[in-house]
Amino acid sequence: MRAGRRLWGVVLCAAGTLSVGWAQAQRGQGQGASQPQGWAVRAGLNNPSAKLYNNAKQKLLDGKQIFTFTISRLDVKLYCEVAQHYDYIWFEMQHSTMSYRDVEEMIAACPRPVATPVIRVPDEFESSIQKATDIGALGIVVPTVDTIEKAMAAARFARYPPVGRRSQGAGQAPSIWGVNGVNYRETINDNMLVIVQIETPVGVANAYDIAMVPGVDVLLGSNGDMTNFSGLQPNDPEYQAMFTRIHDATLKAGKFLGAVTATYAKPGAPGVGRSDFADWRLFYNGPSFDGYQPPGPGRRGGPPSPPGDGRGRGRG
């Protein structure tokens, strides 16, 4: 009985701590209109003046749009090539049979590239996020986040105590990032990028509460699955309104805003672009930062494209 009471006391204490943290986060909710995008992410950094080794997160903090290249199978040569030309690399582990061992091999082959290694994990479970972070990912993407609880799990397991509950164990991550005097354990919490995907009408309805979860850095509106789960097409006014709600919730909470389709990075009519395109900062795929063309079947990657041909990014 005593053991049961002690356990219940621990649960109550943990709940109380979470409530205090949540209340503190809620007190800042009115700041979104007057602060730059991502102000809450910056405020949550342990050392906000330090330059991050997570280049993608640093670019977001610098007010830039970022794009990615997706890798869905083991290909060390491809990874080492494209990681020189994109803001981040999206390792796809939700819709692929690629293993953590495959991703571990690629990250080890070309350590500390320009492109930040980010893994879309299949779920928010501790076991999935632990493996992703241990092998050297500096970011995770958690799919189909409909609830506060799922967002909390994503943030909690991605970071070490005291802000999270990531376990410290064996893995190549410290040897990849803890070099040149960098203490990996002391710096990785600031450098970790937690991206949650809003893919359903339920997720849209809960977008603000999800965005308010401490440790969540980016809300990524998922265009394809929003059609899948809502039955609406991209040019439908209600479909566009859902992404406007994601936009408003994310900015109000002080987090970074993303979309799966890179067309949201440019102006245009619904289904082609967005009038609020400048507010969308993180994208799935899209152009390289130097005009480089990735290799297709049977050909090599191309050199940077000439300026002004429309294929480079040119969006600070």
Q: What is the mean pLDDT of residues 59-70?
A: 98
What's the domain count of the chain?
2
120 in a domain, yes or no? yes
Q: Give the lowest-confidence range in 97-111, 124-138, 140-154, 293-307.
A: 293-307
Confidence class for position 270, pLDDT limits 50, 70, 90: confident
Residues 90 and 227 in one domain: yes
Residues 97 and 234 in one domain: yes
Residues 240 and 105 in one domain: yes
178: domain CATH number is 3.20.20.60
pTM of the model: 0.86
Q: What is the mean pLDDT of residues 60-83?
A: 98
237 in a domain, yes or no? yes
Residues 111 and 260 in one domain: yes
Q: Quick: pLDDT tens for 199-251.
A: 999 999 999 999 999 999 999 999 999 999 999 999 899 999 999 999 999 99
95 in a domain, yes or no? yes
Sequential DSSP letters for the chain: -HHHHHHHHHHHHHHHHHHHHHHHHHHTGGGTTTS-TTHHHHHT-SSTTSPPS-HHHHHHHTT--B-EEEE-S--HHHHHHHTTTSSEEEEE-SSS---HHHHHHHHHHS-S-SSEEEEE-SSS-HHHHHHHHHTT-SEEEE----SHHHHHHHHHHHS-TTT--PPP---SHHHHHS-TT--HHHHHHHH-EEEEEE-SHHHHHTHHHHHTSTT--EEEE-HHHHHHHH---TTSHHHHHHHHHHHHHHHHHT-EEEESSGGGGS--STTT--TTGGG--EESS---SS--B---TTSPPBPPPPTTSS-S----
Domain that holds residue 12: 1-31
